[in-house]
Amino acid sequence: MARGGLLAAHLITECFSASPYPTAQALKRVRHPTSSPFFSASPPQQAQEIKGTRERWRRAQARRALSLWWPSGVRGWQRQQDGQQASARSQRPHLASHSRLGQARRAQPPSPPPPPPPRPPFSRLFLLSAGGRRLPLDLCAHWASPIASITAAASSSSAAAAAASSSSPFSSNFSTISSSRGAAAAAMPEKRPFERLPTEVRPINYGLCLKPDLIDFTFEGKLEAAVEVKQATNQIVMNCADIDIITASYAPEGDEEIHATGFNYQNEDEKVTLSFPSTLQKGMGTLKIDFVGELNDKMKGFYRSKYITPSGDTRFAAVTQFEATDARRAFPCWDEPAIKATFDISLVVPKDRVGLSNMNITDRMPYPDDENLVEVKFARTPVMSTYLVAFVVGEYDFVETRTTDGVLIRVYTPVGKAEQGKFALEVAAKTLPFYKDYFNVPYPLPKIDLIAIADFAAGAMENWGLVTYRETALLIDPKNSCSSSRQWVALVVGHELAHQWFGNLVTMEWWTHLWLNEGFASWIEYLCVDHCFPEYDIWTQFVSADYTRAQELDALDNSHPIEDFRKGMHLYLTKFQHKNASTEDLWESLEDASGKPIAAVMNTWTKQMGFPLVYIEGEQQEDNKVLKVVQKKFCASGPYSGEDCPLWMIPITICTSDDPTHAKMQVLMDKPELTLVLKDVKPEQWIKLNLGTVGFYRTQYSPDMLEGLLPAIRDLSLLPVDRLGLQNDLFSLARAGIISTVEVLKVMEAFVNEPNYTVWSDLSCNLGILSTLLSHTDFYEEIQAFIRDIFSPIGEKLGWDPRPGEGHLDALLRGLVLGKLGKAGHKATLEEARRRFKDHVEGKHILSADLRSSVYVTVLKHGDSITLDTMLKLHKQADMQEEKNRIERVLGAISQPELIQKVLTFALSEEVRPQDTVSVIGGVAGGSKQGRKAAWKFVRDNWEELYNRYQGGFLISRLIKLSVDGFAIDKMASEVKAFFESHPAPSAERTIQQCCENILLNAAWLKRDAENVHQYLLQRKASPTAV
């Protein structure tokens, strides 16, 4: 499959808008261990983000403290004349003054908070990748939406974004606030066009010193940047957000310092303009800025992360998350990916804390103004983008090793949990040399740290040399972590380390080329895990977890030998190392390596939206099979009916029952219809299109050809990946109304002998979607009986306990099957789950980690208040975040209304980390019909708190999607739309549109097929030959 060819690009445009900025965490993957990706950054158009009452009070207090130093006020002081500033500069606060700032703030009594201003708008381009990890988006109902999930769809996304924004039914409802910092909100009639930073001044090197205060949650900073004035100007425009600049000056090389006479904050654009009294001439110089900021609790920029020490104390770490546009919240900078520079970073930290940054430590010395502090200095970085800068201050243990070429690898864990970092260390130690050999380009830094962060919105972030992770994406307890968690950690580590080359060494020129980072990493993580753990059969899982869910493209895998591909990657990385690249640069490198017209083929996929449906029918002519192959655009709402149908260049591969593992014919389809002749094919032989399910298209077979494939499913002669792809195509066709859902159910019955975990996982997912749909009917129990019948044979075969010789995939399959049977009410499974749960709670026999989710969800689904209380107690006692998350994800299975409310209240409690609240609420929405209604009401009732908590990041989009996507009633689409018209969520605008569309599609699906499905299930139930 993808092992032999071009990269499988992964790019999902979650939200098109007029802004070319993506949301920060949406550039990363966020997916829970059994599904996908997610990141919270601000676009240029975003106005000052809403702060909670406590945050507004703190900033007001900081301003009061500053006014103690300058009676005329900070802004007034900034406007002083050059001569006055020169005098004031000699008295400007040094970093040591941070303690005075805190004391002054503490001395001030709290003031009544001002009324919150209208929520600010921000149009964002959401980009999902396998690294963030992946958001667990079920995109099956959105095939017709403008989702560019192919290699370089971002190439044309600016125009698409503008079109999507202008056509949005919600866009006119968003108001904006004025650009004056602290001013009252004022509605603006329309958004101003986005402008990138001026080009007159560019950074060469940032000298940056930061001093975080982990008690008052503020920080002080000093920036001394070597810059080049490329064109004479009297202004310097930089990105800046949530930062107060105290002083600023510019000194031309070999000349006197010129002090800035004013700072004009453009909050809406997250910029600041430094004005100077005289013209800055072309040439090199030094820009100095002193500033203060807040360690926020929004999981973006420079923020605080709460953790519990082994002794039970609550403490905070200072950590960063800058991708895409949040470096500007830590220091004034040129926060665009193409504006690269080197960095000399130092941190002033408590002497009992660890201080980390991108590079290795060169010095750790006492801080002269406070004996309790030390200054940690780091080596100069390579040329890099601001979004890849990182620093962490906190308490950590670590395990370490070195590669054969001397690169130091460390995994940092919470104190006392170093043992849990060993698995990730093993993966990293195998991965770095593998990538070095594969790309024939060495890792360019002397060290790489992987660190677990308690409060972290994304799954992980590939900061160069200091990769940050959620605890559940990095830590593995040898005794208590399940097999799926091990696999998840391996994939995330492989993904983030791939970024050290793709993204860090070579960076996209602008966010529209983000797939060059994320698409490649989303594919090569599987190559890496296959290298490290071949027993995972990860390539089959790739088709299920990535290809069919996110519609990734690997269409040319069978067209280019791996040697050409690797050569092309080497050319690309060496030519553009420490630089920026575009999609066209990659095509050029691959063409140079292969001599093939890569761009001509790929442009049909990257320059137009959507993907094709390929219809195939056959006619026997003597010993040959004559095939008619037709391509049309695939649409979620039914057969494409447009006049000008897009045309793709489709790599067509065909295999037969003679040799299911090799293509009997390969052809590049470059026209709407083809007639192909397969020679020496007998009438009884089956024919399969899209060998290995690597072509990025849906396949529809004629009835007789589909019937011929059923025996190949039963006797397993079709490859697992082709069995998976066949049923997944059929399910998507049914959702789109192209075929009947009954036809899909009949095919599903052929999988009764299926042994493959990934095939079962995909079947389980699709049956779960159908089950949710039919929860709107009065025959919900019939579909549960169907699920019990389908899963019972494999459940009986597997049993509850592992047998000698079983491996990783057997453990995954057992947990999947038993959980599915338990939720569906399989009597024997329910009884055994209750027995084992009781023994687990009483300490008689601890459940294996691989069975806990299955047992937990089963007993909760059919449990009572005692069951829920017991589960919440287990959650409170759990020391491992993996166990806490495991419990949080299944709490929504409880079905009694009063207990559902208890779970929802728990979701917003201090017991649940902020980034995990969404999973709890989403679990309730997906757990039952009653839960879906309760979760949506809960979101509406608590919208202000939830919106303020996530500040427009990707988690708010995920919350909305999980809360409403299961509805299948037309009026709910109107209700959802109306709510968000009166409660705007600009960053989730596209998600809201997709959810409304999905609700309507579900409603149409239900109306179209519900009765036929009901009759089929009744007939099947009455039939003695039912499975």
- Per-residue pLDDT tens for 600-637? 888 888 788 889 999 999 999 999 999 999 999 998 88
Average pLDDT (585-596) is 88
Look at residue 140 in the predicted model and tell me its pLDDT: 28
Among residues 268, 294, 336, 496, the one annotated as catalytic is: 496
* CATH number, residue 430: 2.60.40.1730
- pLDDT tens, 100-120? 333 333 333 334 444 433 333
Q: Of 496, 409, 305, 353, whose CA–CA distance to 881 is shortest?
A: 305
Q: Is residue 288 part of a domain?
A: yes
| 457 inside domain | yes
Residues 6+ apart with CB under 8 A from 827: none
Region 26-50: what's the mean pLDDT? 32
Whether 470 and 456 have beta carbons less than 8 Å apart is answered as: yes
Contact present, 698 and 614 (Cβ < 8 Å)? yes
Residue 59 has pLDDT above 60, yes or no: no
User: Residue 88: pLDDT above 70?
Assistant: no
Least confident residue range of 164-178, 528-542, 900-914: 164-178
- Reported as a pLDDT band with limits 50, 70 and 90, residue 547 is low
Nearest Cα neighbor of 596 from 556, 566, 569 is 556
Residue 875 lies in a domain: no
Q: Is residue 888 part of a domain?
A: no
Residue pair 588/576 in contact by the 8 Å Cβ criterion: no
End-to-end Cα separation, the chain, in angstroms: 33
Q: Bigger pLDDT: 93 or 980?
A: 980
Q: What is the mean pLDDT of residues 7-22?
A: 30
Size (the chain), residues:
1027
* Average of per-residue pLDDT values in the chain: 82
Identify the band that residue 1025 occupies on the pLDDT scale cut at 50, 70 and 90. Answer: low
Distance, CA of 840 to CA of 863 (rounded, Å): 16
256 annotated active-site: no
Confidence at residue 137, expressed as pLDDT on a 0 to 100 scale: 27
CA distance to 45, 126, 323, 1022, per residue, from 41 (Å): 12, 10, 7, 56
State mean pLDDT over 27-38. 30
Ramachandran area for residue 182 (φ above 0: left; ψ -120 to 50: alpha; else beta): left
20-38 average pLDDT score: 32
Mean pLDDT is lowest, of 356-370, 564-578, 732-746, 993-1007, for: 564-578
**Between 254 and 290, whose confidence is greater?**
290
Residue 895 has pLDDT above 70, yes or no: yes
Identify the residue with better confidence: 211 or 540. 211
Residue 952 placed within a domain: no
CA neighbor of 359 nearest in space, from 383, 329, 333: 383
Higher confidence at residue 100 or residue 176? 100
Is 725 within 8 Å of 759 (Cβ atoms)? Answer: no
List the domain range (segments joined by +) for residue 421. Answer: 201-547
Say what the alpha-carbon torsion angle 85, 91, 95, 100 is, to the nearest 10 degrees.
-120
The larger pLDDT score, comparing residue 158 to residue 404, is at 404
Which of 47, 21, 45, 60 is CA-nearest to residue 118? 47
pLDDT tens digit sequence for 407-443:
999 999 999 999 999 999 999 999 999 999 999 999 9
Higher pLDDT, 129 or 654: 654
Higher confidence at residue 47 or residue 880?
880
* pLDDT grade for 901, boundaries at 50, 70 and 90: very high
Q: Quote the pLDDT of residue 1021.
A: 85
So what's the pLDDT on residue 748? 97
Which residues have CB under 8 Å from 621's CB, separation 6+? none
pLDDT score, position 135 = 27
Cis peptide before 185 (omega within 30 of 0): no
- Report the SS3 class of residue 103: helix
Q: Is the residue at 213 inside a domain?
A: yes
Query: Looking at 129-138, 792-801, 887-896, 1018-1027, which range is the least confident one?
Result: 129-138
Helices 741-748 and 703-714 cross at an angle (nearest 10°) of: 30
Number of domains composing the chain: 1
Q: Which residue has the higher pLDDT, 1019 or 76?
A: 1019
Handedness of CA 66, 71, 72, 78 (dihedral sign): negative
Mean of pLDDT values over 660-670: 94
* Cα separation, 55 vs 530, whole angstroms: 46
Q: How much is the pTM?
A: 0.80
Give the model's pLDDT for residue 1024: 60
Q: Indicate whether 727 belongs to any domain.
A: no
pLDDT confidence of 997, banded at 50, 70, 90?
Answer: very high
